[in-house]
Amino acid sequence: EVQLVETGGGLIQPGGSLRLSCAASGFSVSSNYMSWVRQAPGKGLEWVSIIYAGGTTYYADSVRGRFTISRDNSKNTLYLQINSLRAEDTAVYYCAGGYGSSIRWGQGTLVTISS
């Protein structure tokens, strides 16, 4: 069974940094495209970043230069390093990955930016 489990969320002060993790089982993060999507409280879904099997990465304009997507193939884990955090980065962060023609999602981790 495919499972994606996000961890690393929490309460962070503005300007701080955080690394989110997405551990995969029954699914290879190195063989499929993997993405991060976020959802601010009471808002819709917003794509954040994607990494392809070959290593190519892309970012939404709102996070480019502050967020970095990466993966550790040996740990079968996807990461999102988020720096220079702003109040508007407060959201539930989901990882998602391509699975054939379908997409698998994790349950999300909450990141709250507040002083």
| Binding positions for other proteins, rule: CB under 8 A | 35, 37, 44-47, 50, 52, 58, 60, 94, 98, 101-108
Q: How far is the CB of 28 from other proteins (least distance, A)?
A: 18
The CA distance from 43 to 5, in Å, is 22
Give counts: helices (H), strands (E), the chain.
Answer: 0, 11
**16 vs 57 by CB, closer to other proteins:** 57
The CA distance from 2 to 46, in Å, is 23
Q: How far is the CB of 77 from other proteins (least distance, A)?
A: 18
Give the 3-state secondary structure of residue 87: helix
Q: How far is the CB of 8 from other proteins (least distance, A)?
A: 16
